[in-house]
Chains A and B, each alone.
Chain A
Amino acid sequence: MSEEVKYSPKDFKSDQEIRWCPGCGDHGIINAVWKAMAELGYPRESWAVVSGIGCSSRFPYYMNTYGFHTIHGRAAAIASGLKNANRKLNVLQVSGDGDALAIGGNHFIHILRRNVDMTLLLFNNEIYGLTKGQYSPTTKLGVKTKTSPYGTIEVPFNPGELAIGAQSKYFARSLDTNVALTAEVLVSAVKHRGTSVVEVLQNCVIFADGVHAAITDKELKEERQLILRHGERMIFGKNRDKGLVLDGGRLKVVEIGHDGVTEQDILVHDAHEPNPFLHWMLVNMSAPEFPVAFGVIREVEAKTYDQALDDQITEVRKISPIRCMDDLLNSGDVWEVR
């Protein structure tokens, strides 16, 4: 891999025709992925994209890398097996909210607990698109869909909250329309050693159009989006005059220059803090009371599963007298018939 290769985004585009609907948020996301891959400059053959089932799971076919379009919900398990079999790969899992959090919920929490070195790109459009408009585990309470004609009666998951609950060491959030931010967090997510979750709020133009409008609306977006960067203050707003402070153990939005609040009072984002307390509050912020947090919210170093597995093999090999099958077959209680 010593060979220096300069890639451009189109080097990662396959020859297959992209079949997502016109206007689908997925187009923006795949552009961000191509951009991030070109920027990272890792050899093209080192990438493996694994997906489950759903609109977003068509992703591997549009990538000129190794790829595996698998079965519904199981992408995390297949990606984990792939990484542990072949550690030199950069494994990118692509799943929607249904694939990752409903049918694949068990694999989602366990991949995070294990901290296998891979990136999970989670497209969250709060709807089942490929099956044409049923509610998903992230659909907001009360929303009417084809399978909830009178409104849903179940409380949704917040993917960030679920991830942190499952001991996630890395969680970032972006928007399909913000290609630059998505590419930026993807670069950081891939570089992170461990399972990195990147939730992208995605718009399904057909079955849930405008589901994120409260955040993405042109007039409101600067008031409703807080883009976090490690070491920077949590400031937002059109005039960069609003910020977050801790008040009685809770987050609170304040205005700089009012009631004696100065910029120095605003919280500084520490993505590397192992204690997830503040990260948990940040991922749970919702409009209109709070801005929604974007960027890298949590990024904590920890040993990865695949590294630990490799290390264990190395350690046991150092001390075990069994080096090959013939040694094993002849070990222990063996007797000879002459």
Chain B
Amino acid sequence: MNQQVKMIEKQEVVIRFSGDSGDGMQLTGQQFSDTAALFGNDVATFPDYPAEIRAPQGTVGGVSGFQVHFGEERITTPGDLADVLVAMNPAALKANLRWVKKAGTIIVDTDAFSDKNLEKAGYASNPLEDGTLTDYNTVPVNITLLTAEALKETGLDQKSVLRCKNMFALGMTYWMFDRSVEHTEAFFDGKFGKKPVVALANKLALRAGYNYAANVHALAVHYRVAPAHIAKGKYRTITGNRATAWGLLAAAEKAGLPLFCGSYPITPATDILQELAIRRDLGAKTYQAEDEIAGICTAIGASYGGNFAVTTTSGPGLALKAEACGLAVMAELPLVIVDVQRGGPSTGLPTKTEQSDLLQALYGRNGESPMPVVAASTSANCFDYAFAAGKIALEHTTPVILLTDGFLANGAQPWRIPAMSELPEITLRVAKEGDAYKPYDRDPETLARTLAIPGTKGLEHRIGGLEKMNITGAISYVPENHQVMTDLREEKVARIARSIPEQEVFGNADGGEVLVVGWGGTYGHLYSTVKEMRKEGKDVSLAHFHYINPLPLNTGELLGRFRKIVVCELNLGQFAAYLRSKFPQFTCLQYNKVAGLPFTVAELKAEIEKILN
């Protein structure tokens, strides 16, 4: 107990909190992440939780985890393996041991390692005693007992006391990484302002954990991770779903329109609806519809009515919305459809991440139904791409699908707050009273049609799902006209390429041996992989796509500069297939994973290494 405490400088650390789904592990991880970010570290997080709200207690299926990667350099992934694991029970240890580095630190609540809990976790013998943890630095602590002891003066019942044991564990990690408890204390004062005893209990547990770690020196090491060298400015931590909601609100403000969101709750997209529901103060109208179809249909009605309309969903919901997506294509109304992708098909893995809705987004409708598709690649840039999707929808009079995923949606990272004045303007073509209005008259440059807001005198007109006569919008079954309108709708979407940025390359912009191609939420892992390999002198570059349909104008030319192209994605090769259809002259190799989990840098490196050789 009296061993010397070492102070070790580290560039980056990965810590994983794990426990029963009722143990408050998401809150614990989020607090650690916020505290690290406030200190000035760059941070990436990965919440990993079961679909069941209260899965059977103590079982491996019910384990909830939250991984935080923080450091003094740019952090783009939550990290492959953890330096530190906090395991609140045997099931958490069992589920997470494979994600801990050899010689990593494992903090366990020994009080939870009862025979019953060991049996529930499927352990035949106690892993704390049978040599399972020989390769690790195990720190056994009576977290439950010590928390109860620390809280005995509060008068709280046993159940409430036990709820605070996560804070004891968090306090220990704060000491371990030389972090202050202040932010978390302030959090509890704010959260339980009306229940001061609960706030006090959490703070007592937090302090007790911190002091325990400091006093007993059980941890033997004390780490210091310096603040990151990041650009000046104001920062906040933001999750992908919140960033998406705020990007949509920003687009509404820039366009000068009220935001209308018609949605139905679905994991992992629900937070966006919830975030928007708070924003009555910004005039946001959220409408929790009776089903996914009503979600998009109310949004389509609102779009016709002159609001900036959005609907939010995940893969199964997008499938239900498909027919209405086609109506928005036909009526040429602005609309943003957010698909926070999850593991599929069918109900699939609701809380796990995947990129397998790409082809559904591109093609999952009846008829020739072109729709722009945009993908965010980090939790923070969900804001930028939600804004971009809104701008495209409004300026090009088209529905737009924004793809994010469960990994981006629930992950959080520090974000430099933009000023609204930094964002581009959004300009709509809207007819005014007195104009000679033709509903399908178009802007000669973008082919966007002119909108007329119902209520405007003299612009009464009818739109709908039947084919329209070019320009006038009257119903038309004329064969030549259907060809013209089909071509116009296709060309209108294709011309969006003129107003999006060119595709960039990280690495050798002039070309080289291997080009790694990715899109969407895999950016962090692909970037880290390519960066590390380049440090090792490997000729590897990265082209990570955000604009999927249309693709940036330089895409074909860019792909042609590399000897080998490998498309890495969390599906069976959907973007690769899409690229092949657009650019049959190139050979697209693939690396795919469909495990409900992000890539790891280690597996990506191994794969790309094979392609290099």
Contact = CB atoms under 8 A, between A and B. Distances in A.
Contacts of B417: 329-330, 334
Contact of A335 (B236, B283, B331, B458): B236
A78 B462 contact: no
A325 B420 contact: yes
Interface in A64-95: 64-71, 74, 77-86, 88-89
Nearest to B475: A61
B460 A65 contact: yes
Q: Is the contact region of chain B dominated by helix, strand, or loop, or is it mixed?
A: mixed
B314 interface: no
Interface string B16-58: 0000000000000000001001101000000000000000000
B305 interface: yes
B232 interface: yes
Contacts of A204: none
B175 interface: no
Contact of A68 (B309, B324, B458, B464): B464
A334 B235 CA distance: 6
Given A45-B460, A322-B281, A328-B279, A86 B453 contact: yes
A289 interface: no
B14 interface: no
A84 B253 contact: no
B253 A324 contact: yes
B461 A66 contact: yes
A69 B230 contact: no
B262 A81 contact: yes
Contacts of B232: 337-338
A244 to B, nearest CB: 36
Given A325-B420, A330-B417, A317 B281 contact: yes
Contacts of B331: 68
A316 B281 contact: yes
Contacts of A74: 293-294, 297, 324
B234 A78 contact: no
B249 A328 contact: yes
Given A85-B307, A85-B309, A317-B281, A79 B301 contact: yes
A308 to B, nearest CB: 11
A84 B234 contact: no
B40 A337 contact: yes
B455 A77 contact: no
A82 B297 contact: no
Given A82-B301, A325-B253, A337-B40, A45 B457 contact: yes
A67 B299 CA distance: 16
A107 B290 contact: yes
A68 B304 contact: yes
Contacts of B279: 322, 328
B550 to A, nearest CB: 26
Chain B interface category by residue count: 35 or more
A48 B231 CA distance: 51
B449 to A, nearest CB: 15
Given A44-B460, A312-B280, A77 B289 contact: yes
B269 to A, nearest CB: 19
Contact of B290 (A61, A110, A330): A110
B463 interface: yes
Contacts of B474: 16
Contact of B285 (A48, A309, A315, A324): A309
A64 B231 CA distance: 58
B282 A335 contact: no
Given A66-B460, A328-B246, A84 B233 contact: no
B281 A78 contact: no
A43 interface: yes
Contact of A107 (B183, B230, B294): B294
A88 B305 CA distance: 10
B420 A43 contact: no
A80 B38 CA distance: 44
Given A106-B294, A328-B249, A337 B457 contact: no
Interface string A294-326: 000000000000000100110111001011111
Given A81-B302, A335-B236, A88 B246 contact: no
A234 interface: no
Contact of B260 (A45, A79, A81, A338): A81
Contact of B302 (A71, A84, A106, A338): A84
B464 A78 contact: no
14 contacts: A14-B462, A60-B464, A78-B304, A80-B287, A80-B298, A81-B299, A83-B305, A84-B298, A88-B455, A322-B279, A324-B282, A325-B246, A329-B236, A335-B40
Q: Kindly list the 6 A-B residue pairs having the minimum CB-CB distance in the complex, ordered from nearest.
A: A81-B301, A69-B464, A85-B305, A81-B298, A320-B281, A77-B297
Interface of A: 14, 16, 43-48, 50, 53, 60-61, 63-71, 74, 77-86, 88-89, 106-107, 109-110, 309, 312-313, 315-317, 320, 322-326, 328-330, 332-338
